[in-house]
Copies of this chain bind each other. A is one copy, B any other.
């Protein structure tokens, strides 16, 4: 019944285990031999082309790295070749076959020499009309690129950003793997509200008689129906689900989309963004918020440092020193000061931990710096803050900036904020914060402040004491005051978001 010959695949030469896609341009250049007699075929888009009388120089890219491959296209006198040459424009997709040779030019190790007269040496896979092609060599504004979304990743800067995001994600996953965490995916559509972290988007109810996805402007209220039988929202944070999972799997994290319906047009407010969140149980004896700070710092260093100290490709003109990742250099071309700051924070004193201040100490420093009478160094001009630093009040952006950029000049953890400024589930400190006089109740939490960024991460030890949690819920009027025993155990745990 079953015809075996149907299943033969003569073209299958490699085994499933050794499958590899053909090399990308980045791989080809990295592994290119010094010289070879074999013809090399490459695929890509023309990023730029400069035509001379007998030769044309084209930079070919396939998106695999920031540096393309220079192709030297040697012209032929034939009419066909002339036509072909005319069709070689910015943005055209091509297949080129030629000799990969060591480049005599600067800034590239290899170039591809293509004889245009040879059969199939130049194949145009997709023409590109330069009159209508929006991606030009000059610097294009972000606004202009937003109107050409489908092609904007063909610019060096957007492509560099996308590749960096990929690398950062990979480094994040590697770090959590090394610490025995499990990556989990928790629900996006939810009926729970995570501690009012922000306004939630609502899934629209639909008119039961109509098409569920129909966007009729005003369905009659009598036919409105919820898809899930009750109002559903997009999650603003995965924290609640992670907390539940960490009481079973212990170390869990997620890198997932979150949604906040905040009608605010600033660089710090996005309707949709991906957030890294983690929770783990069992902080060891004598634990405090510093253990979480250690974790966050180790995470960030393991993610960022390899990008700053990227091994350079071996070349005769340079030592094998490390330089920033080429994609970072592309992004920094317009902003070298950030480069210097990141290098200072990550590459100097790598054996030392980043500074940490309690909130109380931070308020003291801010107060000293802004009031001349209390300044420790009378020669210093007092700092002018719009908001007076005051214990019990939130740190304003100007305070956070001053702490990270002026006082420390790098990343700084601020710990042990007043309980009144933080949510109920953060663990109340037993005594006054270390090294300071008693100022009232504080909680075991941190914010990580970074120059030019502001708050990059935050987290806390979770309150695990049932009586403390219960009394807070009673205070908030969320449960009646008669106690009933908890049905599940929650050991002291910690998290960062």
Contact = CB atoms under 8 A, between A and B. Distances in A.
B377 A488 contact: no
Interface string A30-44: 000000000001011
Contacts of A228: 271
B224 A489 contact: no
> Considering the complex of A and B, which 6 residue pairs feature the smallest CB-CB distances, nearest first?
A126-B489, A218-B221, A132-B487, A19-B298, A153-B248, A63-B249
Contacts of A417: none
A215 B15 CA distance: 57
Interface string A180-195: 1011110111000000
Interface string A120-137: 000001111100111000
A179 interface: yes
A486 B250 contact: no
Given A151-B488, A492-B125, A204 B206 contact: no
A16 interface: yes
A375 B224 contact: no
Given A22-B284, A166-B182, A215 B202 contact: yes
A474 to B, nearest CB: 20
A388 interface: no
Contact of A261 (B24, B179, B213, B294): B213
A50 to B, nearest CB: 19
Contacts of A257: 185, 188, 256-257
A162 B249 CA distance: 9
B490 A126 contact: yes
Interface stretch (A67-75, A331-339, A349-357, A453-461): A349-357
A179 B21 contact: yes
A479 interface: no
Contact of A163 (B159, B188, B249, B485): B249
A361 B377 CA distance: 88
B249 A153 contact: yes
A1 B178 CA distance: 40
Contacts of A27: 180
Nearest to A273: B185
Contacts of A11: 290
11 contacts: A15-B350, A23-B180, A43-B282, A64-B180, A132-B485, A151-B488, A162-B249, A185-B257, A185-B274, A203-B204, A217-B221
B251 A24 contact: yes
Contacts of A351: 15-17
Contact of A380 (B1, B44, B183, B272): B1
A425 interface: no
Interface centre among A17, A19, A248, A290 (most CB of B within 10 A): A248
A311 interface: no
Interface string A245-263: 1011111000011010101
Contacts of A128: 487-489
Interface stretch (A2-10, A102-110, A439-447): A2-10
Contact of A489 (B1, B45, B290): B45
A1 B180 contact: no
A12 B294 contact: yes
Nearest to A178: B20
Given A151-B248, A224-B217, A245-B153, A127 B489 contact: yes
B20 A350 contact: no
